[in-house]
């Protein structure tokens, strides 16, 4: 990983908007991840900040002040951590940044005494799903649900921390 990337978890005003923007910019070229996807990310960020009272932690990776990647754990009931908003810019991919962010998320989940980590993903992201599987996540369901752009596969994954 590049030594010139700083990772912080203290949120500042504007950070939530930067996470939303990063998702829009990083995913838009993939097709099916346009403005409605960006709005979906905004909705989930708002739920974290307002509906969940910010229970959890977000890690922001910055290079020269620009957001290069992020990941988050949202604490849910029953000692469950939800992995959210994992994204790394195309220029930072392959640097080990995604793996570093995931390790921070795992360590935080263990510190919070979570018994498992869950995540939702979808089709069209084979690199992400491969990374999750290499880290020990297992698919628990694969259904088609109404998402931001209509019916789309929803893949639920689980990692046991016990």
Distance (Å, whole) CA 74 – CA 58: 8
How many structural domains comprise the chain? 1
* Full residue range of the structural domain in which residue 29 is found: 5-160
Residue with tokens 């996540």: 137
Within 8 A by CB and 6+ apart from 13, the residues are none
Give the relative orientation of helices 126-134 and 97-111 as an angle to the nearest 10 degrees: 50
Which tens digit of pLDDT belongs to each residue from 147-161? 888 888 899 999 999
Closest CA to 161 of 101, 82, 106: 106
Question: Which CATH number goes with the domain that contains 79?
Answer: 3.40.630.30
Torsion of Cα atoms, 57 then 5 then 41 then 155, to 10°: -80
pLDDT at 13 over 90: yes
Which tens digit of pLDDT belongs to each residue from 74-132? 999 999 999 999 999 988 888 889 999 999 999 999 999 999 999 999 887 878 888 89
Task: Calculate mean pLDDT across residues 9-18.
Answer: 96
pLDDT at 93: 86
């Amino acid at each position: 990983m590049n030594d010139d990337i700083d990772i912080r978890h203290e949120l500042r005003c504007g950070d939530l908007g930067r996470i939303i923007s990063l998702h829009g910019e990083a995913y838009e070229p993939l097709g099916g991840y346009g403005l409605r996807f960006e709005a979906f990310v905004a909705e989930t960020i708002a739920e974290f900040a307002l509906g969940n009272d910010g229970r959890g932690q977000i890690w922001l990776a910055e290079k020269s002040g620009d957001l290069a990647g992020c990941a988050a754990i949202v604490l849910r009931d029953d000692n469950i951590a939800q992995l959210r908003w994992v994204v790394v810019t195309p220029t930072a991919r392959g640097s080990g940044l995604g793996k570093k962010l995931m390790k921070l998320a795992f360590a935080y989940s263990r510190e919070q005494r979570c018994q498992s980590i869950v995540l939702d993903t979808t089709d069209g992201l084979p690199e992400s799903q491969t990374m999750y599987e290499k880290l020990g996540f297992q698919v628990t369901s694969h259904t088609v649900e109404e998402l931001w752009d209509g019916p789309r596969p929803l893949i639920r994954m689980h990692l046991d921390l016990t």
